[in-house]
Amino acid sequence: MSKLKTMTLEWTGDAVIFIDQRKLPLEEVYVKCTNHFDTFTAIKDMIVRGAPAIGASAAFGYVLGAKEFRGELGSEKGIDHMKKVKEKLASSRPTAVNLFWALERMHKTFLENASSDNTIDILEKEALAIAFEDIEVNMAIGRNGSELLRDGDTVLTHCNAGALATVDYGTALGVIRAAVEAGKRISVFADETRPYLQGARLTAWELMKDGIDVTLISDNMAGWVMSQGKIDAVVVGADRIAANGDVANKIGTYSVAVLAQRHGIPFYVAAPLSTIDLSTPTGKEIPIEERSHKEITHVQGIQVAPHNVKCYNPAFDVTPWNLVTGIITEKGVVRPPYNVTLKNLFD
């Protein structure tokens, strides 16, 4: 029986089932995870990806980890087992802070209820709360961001910060969806987002399914498209926002932000409070994931570069706070000085 089912994932009570985002848009294939090891692999291999989506996925993986334990979860062995489950899931990817935020929330819930008669039910309720809250938060981000867009605007996006990057609705694409739902005619230019092609494979697919006007461009076209006056605003997602407002997001975001400033185009970041990490002072302290060179040398399994060519494949970059016009959150749009305005969100 399904307790939660969205485009991104399904929770049945005994398994979390993901659409395999590596296969989109040409194949809609599903991967069923019945334990926390499989869930770890689904996050690490980007079967499921996107900061809020991996946070919720890890929360369900944590519940599966608890269900694996044979014995008293409140025993020393049980508590040690859950510590290992949390550490395993936390080791899947290093940059998106939502992963660690969700696991800390689940582990705190576990420690507070380890000796309860229904610990697993309590953990499942918390994981479902994280998931349903994400949907509500994304819709609030959408409403707040929609007010920044005018009827007839064209928005540039980078990567995929849509329903597939969250439990549902999306953050950056949530802003676009909300503006369209408010009756505004919005067009989108979507960067393909090499090397993993989240823009070409996922954003274009999502927006076409919703009937939202989308034009796909290669990443190196963004500057020229801006110089032709085709872009009114940029809206992207985030994987971690440091206390000073520096933003870690998909590789290529920094270049888009510099180009937006050069052309006097507002550059907005749409993100939930769970992506803001006040314990990380600046972008310099954000760990940047490096991924397989094969993501660069191959496109959908077809080799496009010489054997053994040297590669460098950082999956994220950091956009300095002074290139960010505003950060769209579920509590409203915050503007610089972010070292003050971000803290105020948590008061």
Ligand X SMILES: CSC[C@H]1O[C@H](OP(=O)(O)O)[C@H](O)[C@@H]1O
Q: Which of 171, 203, 297, 319 binds ligand X (CB under 6 A)?
A: 171
Burial of 250 (0-12, 13-18, 19+ CB in 10 A): buried
Contact yes or no for 51/58 (Cβ under 8 A): no
Counting contacts by CB under 6 A, is residue 167 touching ligand X? no
Which residue, 60 or 110, has its beta carbon nearer to ligand X?
60
Among 67-75, 214-222, 234-242, 257-265, which window interacts with ligand X (CB under 6 A)? 234-242
DSSP code of residue 149: P
Counting contacts by CB under 6 A, is residue 239 touching ligand X? yes
Which residue, 73 or 286, has its beta carbon nearer to ligand X?
286
Closest-CB residue for ligand X? 237
Min. distance of Cβ 164 from ligand X in angstroms? 9
Residue 143 annotated in ligand binding: no
List 155's β-bridge partners, or say none: 188, 233
Residue 51 annotated in ligand binding: yes
Distance CA 149, CA 301 (A): 39
Active site residues: 239
Among 26-34, 113-121, 142-150, 158-166, which window interacts with ligand X (CB under 6 A)? 158-166
Counting contacts by CB under 6 A, is residue 165 touching ligand X? yes
Counting contacts by CB under 6 A, is residue 315 touching ligand X? yes
Q: Which of 166, 203, 280, 297 binds ligand X (CB under 6 A)?
A: 166
- Going by C-alpha positions, the residue among 229, 164, 155, 151 that lies closest to residue 188 is 155
Binding mask 176-205 for ligand X (x = CB under 6 A): ----------------------x-------
Q: Which of 89, 97, 130, 161 binds ligand X (CB under 6 A)?
A: 161
Counting contacts by CB under 6 A, is residue 237 touching ligand X? yes
Distance CA 14, CA 22 (A): 24
**Strands across the sheet with 240-242, in order?**
276-277, 240-242, 247-250, 316-319
Among 58-66, 102-110, 128-136, 232-240, which window interacts with ligand X (CB under 6 A)? 232-240
**Strands across the sheet with 16-19, in order?**
4-5, 9-11, 16-19, 30-33
Determine how β-strand 240-242 pairs with β-strand 276-277. Answer: parallel
Distance CA 93, CA 286 (A): 12
Q: Which of 143, 177, 201, 250 binds ligand X (CB under 6 A)?
A: 250
- Other beta carbons within 10 angstroms of residue 307's beta carbon come to 6
Burial of 152 (0-12, 13-18, 19+ CB in 10 A): exposed
Distance CA 205, CA 181 (A): 18
Binding mask 46-85 for ligand X (x = CB under 6 A): ---xxxx---------------------------------
Q: What residues are designated binding site for substrate?
A: 49-51, 93, 198, 249-250
Residues of the shown chain interacting with ligand X in the complex, contacts defined by CB under 6 A:
49-52, 159, 161, 165-166, 171, 198, 236-239, 249-250, 315
